[in-house]
Structures are given as C-alpha cells and as structure tokens.
Structure 1
Amino acid sequence: MSAALDQYRQKLRTPQDATALVRDGDTVLVASAVGEPPALLQALAARRAELNDVTLSQLLPLSPQAYMDVDSAPHIRHRSLFLSAAVRAGFKAGWADLVPCHFSEIPRLVRRGEQRCEVVMTMASPMDAHGYFSISLSPDFTMAAIERTRDLVLEVNPNVPYAFGNCHVHISQVSALIESEAPLREVGLPQINEIQRTIGLHVAELVKDGDTLQLGYGSIPDAVVMQLGGKKDLGIHTEMIGDGLISLLESGAVTGRRKNFLPGKIVATFGMGTKRLYQAMDRNPTLEMHPVDFTNDPAIAGQNDNLVAINATLQVDLFGQCGSESLGPNPYSGTGGQTDFIRAANRSNGGRGIIVLPSTAKGDTISRIVPTLTPGTLVSTSKNDVNYVVSEYGVAQLRGKSLRARARELIAIAHPAFRDELRAAARSLSL
C-alpha cells in the first residue's frame, strides 16, 4: 500500500495542472452521465482559449460547460455519441457533432482507432488498499479507452461508490488525479402521468416471475418499474441502473435466483440516480458494473433466458419500424442501447422485446402510430427486430406476423380518434 500511496501523492494535481496534459489536436474522451468529472471539465473550459483543434467526446453529457458554444468550437469542439439536452441545441447550431453508433460497439470503435482518446477523464472512487479505483458510474466505454489512452486523469471523490465487476483501474495507469468532495449529480425519478401509468400496467402483465429485466431511461420505463413490486425472483441485466431498480431490489422483487447467466448478480454499465442509488451501489456484493461491450452485446445479454427488454420510442409506423432518436430528420438523442437489447431479447430463450410509447403527442393532436415514419426519421429498431409495441390502449405483438397483420395490431392500440385515418392509409399501402 505504501508504494501505491507514494504514486498517489506524486500524481495528485490541481485541476488546472491536471488539464495541462491536454495538447492541441487531442481528443479527450469523457465518461458518460454522472461519471463526467465536473471540476476537471470546468478547469479545461477555463483554458479553452489557449487550445486549438481539441475534440471532446462524450456519450451523455448532463451539465452544460463553458466550451459548449460556437465561439469555443475552434478550440474545443464537442463530439457527441448521443445527444442529450446539454448539447441538443449545439448540433443545430453547428458546434457539436453527432456520431451514429450502437452503444455496445463504442469500445470496438476505440480499439480500432475510429474513436480517438489521447486523454481520458472520469470520476473515480477513492483508492483501495491495493491501489485500485472503481470507475463505477461509467465503465461503459471508459474501460476500453483507458487501455488505449496516452493520459488518464481521474477526479477522485468519496461520494463515488466502489462497485465490483470489471470497472477498476490501478494507480500505475493514472497520469494525474485531482480530489473533490462535491455531491454527485442527482437525477431523480420523473413524475408519472396517467397514460404512462397505464402503459406500465400493460407492460407489467408481460413480465413474469423469474424474468430478467433491461429497462431504458425515461418516464415510461420508470412507470413500468413501479408496477413490478409484486413480482418474484426478477433478475437485472441492463445498461443503466437507477433508483427504480434499487427500489425493486429493496422490495424483494429482485433476487436473481432464477437467472441462468450470472445468477444472483445485477449487471449494469452505468449508474444514474440519486444519493440513494450511489449508496446502494457501494460495495454491494449483488451488483457488478461492466463495460458496455459485455452488458449490451446481444450475444452475451441474450444468454439470459427470459430477458425482457423495455425501451421507449417516439414514433412507430404500420410496418413496425420504430423511430426513437429523431424528430423527422432532426436528431434528438441517439440509438443508445435500444437495438442492442431488442436483439438480445430476440436471441434469449423466452425473451421479449417491448417498445413503449404514448399513442399521441401535442395534446392528442398528433398520432405517434403512423402509416409511414415521418420523412427523414432515423430508424432505431427495424421492422425485422420489433416484437411487442405497447401504448395506453394495449399491446401489439408483431414478431412473426405479416405486414397486414401488423398494421391491424398497431391500429388497435392507436388513439381511437386516428384509427379510421390509419385504416384508410393502410389500404392505400396495400396493408
């Protein structure tokens, strides 16, 4: 331990000195979501005027930074692997770029050099007695980047949980580190309305005791969680773990006893929630945090029997195509792990892939179930992959069914005000 402590002290820096490792032309890869290191990013933003042609890559930035504007782009340009609210406007304004990708494949992009990472910045737990830190909040592609990077910079914070799994880095791998005691960013559960609650009830009827769950981010997946407290022996193999899944664990609904792949273990690749979640993650023997090419790879996740993948979409057409990441041709978010887990559920013995959406938008003036996707809409889940689609009006099971049968199923769960219009459109499409 004394040798590790000596290295720790030698590598301890101020935020300003730590960010001095960034050079002109570098790509800085930053950990996702709550794993982003705020003190390091603020220090990097403060010296942006002295840098040129630096790219900052990130999957899910939560906090707007001072370099996120058009004037800073020649100095630090944002390269997003998924559009969040912090950079959505920046894509339209031209100072942020969007890279299409499946979440599971980002580590492969890193290893092939298609996603550069001269510098990696991430939050980390305090060092343990063996010289290891836990990158618990976001090991997703961060672990692959750590293998390839020139310089690894940690923001060490006692509020970061020390989790188990493949999410650890040794002090010998670290170029510089800073210390912070700031509270972690908290993302609470959203308010659930009646439509979302009804969708949650429909989905809960598709979930059986002993199933293994993956839930995407959003109000409807959270509404589903609220309906599952009475289930027994559920398992978890997911990309994001949040407060909702911790509630299921604490209620006794999640035990993992019937999981055939990593039985008894909750598996995830990033954590985002409140202090309650972060405390529950700390040295929890039932939880393992792993890189995303393990959690989201359909061939791996699909080894879980009875895998139920629950994800939201913005629009679905009568062929079964799901547009989950754009409003027409305008990117809104990203593919994330939706396709990964829908395909994993299709591979799973007894698996079910579930896409959820309210039947309408803008005060019931627009149907989200449409004859064909709005021109330019980016397809996230293809017609060949879609299984169940659920709205507040019920459940449509599409897999293995003809195009005409699919159209009938989807029209039946559309808002009643749009069903006649959809039937007429289906006839014009020969459906």
Structure 2
Amino acid sequence: MDYTALYQQKLTTADEAVKVVKSGDWVDYGWCTGTPVALDKALAARMGELEDVNFRGGVLMRRPAVFDIPNAADKITWNSWHMSGIERKACMEGFGFYSALRYSEMPRWYRENVRHVNVAMIQVAPMDAHGWFSFGPQASHLKAVCDVSDVIIVEVNKYMPRCLGGFEDGIHISQVDMIVESDTEMPQMGAGGEPTEVDKAVAKLIVEEIPNGACLQLGIGGMPNTVGSMIAESDLKDLGVHTEMYVDAFVDISRAGKINGSKKAIDRGRQVFAFGAGTQKLYDFVNDNPECMSAPVSYTNDARTIAQIDNFISINNIVDVDLFGQMNAESAGIKQISGAGGQLDFVLGAYLSKGGKSFICCSSTFKKKDGTLESRIRPTLENGSVVTDARPCAHWFVTEYGKVNLKGLTAWQRAEALISVAHPDFREQLIQEAEKMRIWKRSNKR
C-alpha cells in the first residue's frame, strides 16, 4: 500500500474536518499533550451553530478555544478524567465536571461501557514509513478511544515526539478517517520553583528507604521532584522506572547514570510510562528512545503488573489525611482539585511487590488565604473531601517531621503515629480531638 498517497487522500483542513461534529455529540479530545489545537480552534469557530456538545479529556496544558466561546456553559460540557488548573477553572465557570474512575480502568471502560464515541480528535507525531502515527508521550487510553470512535481525526504535529512502546502506542493510517496538519510547539510543564526546606526534609526521609535496584514511580509535584533530584545526586544504582506519568526528574536520574532497569523482572531495561509531560528536555529524551516504553494505562497502572516488579517504590502527594488514616489527594472539601488517577493502584501494587513500599507525603501544614497556618493532618477530613486512599491501603506516610508505617495499625496506634509527624503546634489539639473520637489511649505518651 502507498501510505503517502493514502495520507494525501485523507489530508484536509481543520475547518473541513470539524464539520462532522453534530449537536449532542460526544467528542474525545485525547489527553494532556495530545489535546488538539487546530481542530479545537476550528470547532470553537462553528460552535454557534451547535448545541449540547460533550467533551472528554484530561490534564489540560492549554486552555481549549471551545472554553472561550460565548455562553460556553449553555453550549458545552467538559468531562475531565483528571483535572489541571485549567479544568478547575472550567468547573467554576459552570461547564467543567470531574469523571471519577481509577485511571487504570479507562481502556476497559471505553471498550465495554462507552462502546461509542462520535468523534475522536487526537494530536499525533508524523507518520512513519509503515503508516503508523505515534500517540507521542500519552499512549494512556487513546487506542481504546479510537477503537470505539465513529470518526477518528488525527492532528499531525512535527513537534510531537515519537514514543516507542510495543502495543497500543499509536494508530495506523488505515484506521484514520481524516488528517489535519498543525505544527504547535509542545506545552511545557516545569517542575515548579526551587525545593523548599520542607520538600528537602521529606525527600531525605524517603530516599534513605530506597535500595539499589529499586523500581520507581513518581507522582507530580514538588516533593516527588525533589526526591528525584536527590536520587540523581545519590549513590543509588541499577534503578528501574515503571510509572504512570513520566516527568523531568526521570530524565535527570537517567542522565546521572542511575537508571538501567537491569533488575526488573518485566520490561527489563525499559522505562515504562502511560503518559508524560515536562520541559523540552523530556520530549527530546523520550523521542525515538528505545529505552523508553510508552504503554496503555491498563498495563502501567495495573496492580498485578506492578506486583511483578521487586522493590517497587511508589511516591505520591496528598492534600490531607485524617486520624483514621483516610487520605485525600484530589479535593479541598467539595472543590475538585485533580482526580483519583493511579495513586491507589500504585499504593496497592507497591505493597504486593516483594520488598515494595508506597510513600504518601505532604507538608505538615499549609497557609490559608488569610495567612494562618492549618494542619494537613486533621481529626476527620473536611466535609465533602474525597477519600483517594482508604485506610486499609495506606503504607508509609511522610511529613517533614518524620515517617510512619501505618499498615495494620489499630485505630489508637494509627492516631498516635499520625500525630507524631504532625506540626508540633497542632499535636495537642489533635490529641484532644482523638480523645473525643475515642481513638486515643490514656497510656499514650503525650
């Protein structure tokens, strides 16, 4: 088959391609760095003639043009699998909503529950000689989306890195209905500012628990990034990577010569991830790099996959935790901040791994808008807050004041352990609340 000729047959303009969208349609906008740009602008331009268009996507790194159409809340609904700041704002504007699902379940959910998407619009890397378009650094669930879509439109971007995988990391031109070209530089996601003293203190407590030959999963945020920086500067060796999100920290650890994946029982020598976003150094590193393996999230985040890798170390952030050990990583009261993602999958999978450990970390306090300090360790979670990690699942919990292993502790032991790593200014208050809740023993040391 002449793929070049077929490419030309399917090549069209964004304005022409979006004419397939009808009122009431469900339109999938891909994921993270694969969210369309030219198609989005073209669709926004014709939204005046459409009603009730439902979008699915997540981890937006650019504000879509469809968000800025007049009376957006009357025209569109944005259904997010995992929220960025852009999507949090969409919620406040009345057209954004969170879709609760464990991230690992998404491919199966599309194939078995949805079974029908009207239009899929996904940004991809340029076609290779064999007719394949790489999904770039977001294999995630995109093949499953394409499998159930009536119309598949790819937006080819020369700046999108070509990520190698092995399965469900791209789509063949024979499966594509229309092709649009749009060269847009990759969105940048920095690691934030310089690590704070709190970040460093937490990271130090975690890094000393990591053995040579461990396999790493890092969440997004200042603390996991600081852990990554410390690992890059450490004496650790023979490390592996199997993670949901590939971030800049992995590039730094790789360049420091710490990662070779030689101890992994599966995917030996490869850094496995479901999606990635960062600075240009990340996109350059994963591009055409056989060491990096872009895989569907149903594989990367499955606890059964994770369990096969010895000494698995999972490191993630939370918003707050209560004295029962219930951990919230996704909301502030009723306000949705992010999503369930794969945190629970990695907490469970790491514990199933021989020698594995999961670390949930946070600063002991945060500052409210009025400047007052509040504890992240609470008697009970704030009304409406979501439990991301149920208390039977918790393993290690870390603040700048120490680390505690919560696994299997009774209610009073758990309360004591959590209070021991709370900010000293709040410990007495937490003890008093624990007493009221009947989870504090008089024999406990104050």
Common topology (TM > 0.5): yes
1:317 aligns with 2:319: no
Residue 282 (structure 1) aligns with: 287
Query: AA paired with 1:58?
Result: G
Contact 1:26 1:55 in 2 (8 A): yes
Shift of 1:116: 4.8
Listed as ranges, the matches of 1:30-429 within 5 Å are: 30-68=29-67, 71-114=71-114, 116-165=116-165, 166=167, 167-191=169-193, 192-229=195-232, 230=234, 231-362=236-367, 365-429=373-437
For structure 1, the residue ranges without an aligned partner over 5 or more in a row are none
Cα-to-partner distance string for 1:24-72 (whole Å, 9 max, x where unaligned) = 2211111211111212211111111122221110121221223226812
Structure 1, residues 285-309: CA drift from partner, whole Å, max 9, x if none?
Answer: 1111011111111111221111111
Do 2:115 and 2:148's aligned partners in 1 also have CA atoms closer than 8 Å? Answer: no
- Residue aligned with 2:73, SS: coil
- 1:3 counterpart letter in structure 2: D
| Larger displacement relative to structure 2 (23-32 or 234-243) | 23-32
List per-residue Cα deviations over 1:235-265 (Å, max 9, x = no partner).
Answer: 1000111211111111111110111121111
Counterpart CA distance in 2 for 1:25 and 1:378 is 31
CA distance in 1, matches of 2:284, 2:83: 28
Q: Give the residue type in structure 2 aligned to 1:206.
A: E
2:444: which partner in 1?
A: none
**Structure 2: 5+ residue runs without aligned partners?**
440-446
Conserved in 2, the CA contact under 8 Å of 1:367 and 1:418?
yes
TM-score with structure 1 setting the length: 0.97
RMSD over equivalenced CA pairs, Å: 1.5
Does the 8 Å CA contact 1:50/1:75 hold for their aligned counterparts? no
2:316 aligned counterpart, secondary structure: strand
- Would the alpha carbon gap of residues 115 and 307 (structure 1) be closer, same or farther in structure 2, given more than 3 Å must change? farther
Looking at structure 2, the residues matched to 428 and 116 of structure 1 have their Cα atoms a distance apart, in angstroms, of 52
CA distance in structure 2 between the aligned counterparts of 1:82 and 1:283, rounded to whole angstroms: 27
Contact 1:67 1:73 in 2 (8 A): no
CA distance in 2, matches of 1:322, 1:415: 17
Residues 2-41 of structure 1 aligned to structure 2 (within 5 Å):
3-41=2-40
Letter of the 2:57 counterpart: Q
How far 1:364 sits from its partner (Å)? 6.2
Write the letter of the residue equivalent to 1:319.
Answer: F
The CA deviation at 1:117 is 2.1
CA distance in 2 between partners of 1:20 and 1:294 (Å): 35
DSSP-derived class of the 1:86 partner: helix
Q: CA deviation at 1:115?
A: 7.4
Runs (4+) of structure 1 exceeding 6 A deviation are none
Offset, 1:174: 0.7
Q: CA deviation at 1:385?
A: 0.5
Listed one character per residue, the Cα deviations across residues 105-152 of structure 1 (whole Å, up to 9, x for unaligned) are: 111221123475221111111111111111022111111111111111
Do the aligned partners of 2:270 and 2:293 also contact (CA within 8 Å) in 1? yes
Residue 443 (structure 2) aligns with: none
Contact residue 73 and residue 93 of structure 2 kept, 8 A: no
Q: Cα deviation per residue 1:199-242 (whole Å; 9 max; x = unaligned)?
A: 11111112111111111111111111011022111110001112
| Secondary structure of the structure 2 residue equivalent to 1:197 | helix
SS at match of 2:417: helix
CA contact (8 A) 2:210 2:313 kept: yes
CA distance in 2, matches of 1:115, 1:216: 30
| In structure 1, C-alpha distance between the alignment counterparts of 2:178 and 2:276, rounded to whole Å | 24
Instruction: Give the partner amino acid of 1:379.
Output: V
Q: What is the DSSP-based 3-state SS (H/G/I as helix, E as strand, rest coil) of the residue aligned with 2:90?
A: helix
Deviation track 1:78-97 (CA, whole Å, cap 9, x = no partner) reads: 11122221121322332112
Identity over aligned pairs, percent: 35
Change (3 A) 1:98 1:428: same
Q: TM (normalized to structure 2)?
A: 0.93
How far the C-alpha of 1:416 sits from its partner, in A, is 0.6
User: How far is 1:405 from its partner?
Assistant: 1.2
Separation in structure 1 between the aligned mates of residue 133 and residue 73 of structure 2, nearest angstrom: 33
**Secondary structure of residue in 2 paired with 1:57:** strand
